[in-house]
Amino acid sequence: MVEEGGPLAGIVVLDLSRALAGPHAAMMLGDLGARVIKVEQPGTGDDTRGWGPPFVGPDDAPVSTYFLSCNRNKESIELDLKSEDGQVQLTRLVRASDVLVENFRPGVLDRLGFSMERLHELNPRLVVCSISGFGHDGPEGGRAGYDQIAQGEAGLMSVTGPSAAEPTKVGVPIGDLLAGMHGAYGTLSALYEREHTGKGRVVRTSLLASIVGVHAFQGTRWTVAGQVPEPIGNHHPSISPYGAFACGSEMVQVAVASEAQWAKFASVLGLDPEDPRFARNADRVANRAALTALIEEVLATGSRDEWLARIGAIGIPCGAIRTIDQVYEWDQTRSQGLVVGVEHPVLGPIELPGPPIRFDAHPGEGAAGRATHLPPPGLGEHNDSVRAWLDGLGTGS
């Protein structure tokens, strides 16, 4: 094993998860320097190895770009957890790990003989990150969790899209990703607590909890004000003008979040900031359609880039709507370390979306993050090296 440094250097993460929520949580820990050992079903591996198109690479060894998105900085070992050898090796791995990440349906680990109680008998210091679809208990705790189903059940689709007649999912599996993020930060909290107690604990989250947990003002609109939110497309339900506006054949996004900003914005567009229909934010929200029509009429007189320059010059937040390729070609994206290069065992040198966290170095030290990133592993690529490491530890069976 190559020591890569980072805040979690020395922490070993056992990744029993598949698909996206659990693998994303484990990848986040790997980005921070933890050693992540991914256990996969022999012959087939993680489900996402077969998710595509797109696939890249040779026809006899196609690689799913979906798998590549959530498995960097990991090693892969194949284990049949229902076999005697699989049970022995999993027991050894549990004893040697600091964290276990799993997103089986509730009850699966118990049936395999690795209940939470058993895991902590094997390793009292183990932190278990358990991610489910709708929670591990409650009247629907046993339901399978898939992102789009959870987006609908957790209300997110009801506030996304152009209208209530067209509920729309988010363009990425946001429920899975949020569950992974919440699982990772819960895990870090439990690792910190372990420094004081000497004991690990179980951290639980779910797709349902993670989506409800980010309802933000849409949630309090109902819980406090008794309003049921509905989608209004690319505009903010409580602030105006705040959204995307047609600028000829292109779009300009503007965020006017205060009365002072409104006065500046109205002036640069040649509108009357004291017009009684628009003088206060509440007025602008009530008369959104009329205000949007006026704004788009003015924006049609110039190009998108011209208006972005003029609006930006007066300090009003604004921007374009970039396609994914434009985002990764953008100098600002690359300046933030959001693209990382790795050497893939099949594909050779490739670029991946990078981790969203950076660490400043202490005076006289190098960067505090992982020094280099590892490519997503081939299936079973580390079978021998992981077993050899366990042998060296003498973890027994």
Nearest to 109 by CA among 129, 134, 139: 129
Provide the residue type at 324 as one letter: I
Provide the residue type at 368 as one letter: A
Rounded to whole angstroms, the Cα distance separating 359 from 341 reads: 19
- Please give the full DSSP string across 264-278, using - where no structure is assigned: HHHHHHT--TT-TTT
Residue 348's DSSP bridge partners are 344
Q: In which residue are the tokens 């004000």 written?
A: 225
- Which residue among 15, 98, 147, 176 is the active-site one? 176
176 is catalytic: yes
Run of H or E residues at 121: helix 116-122
Phi, psi (rounded to 5 degrees) for 43: 85, -35
Yes or no: say if 372 and 3 are a contact pair by the CB < 8 Å rule: no
Burial (Cβ within 10 Å: 0-12, 13-18, ≥19) of residue 111 = exposed
Q: Which residues contact 63 (CB under 8 A, 6 or more apart)?
A: 55, 56, 57, 344, 346, 347
Phi, psi (rounded to 5 degrees) for 153: -65, -30
Q: Which residues contact 357 (CB under 8 A, 6 or more apart)?
A: 31, 32, 369
Strands (E), the chain: 12-15, 35-40, 55-56, 63-64, 75-78, 99-102, 127-132, 202-206, 242-247, 250-255, 318-319, 339-344, 348-353
Catalytic residue ranges: 176
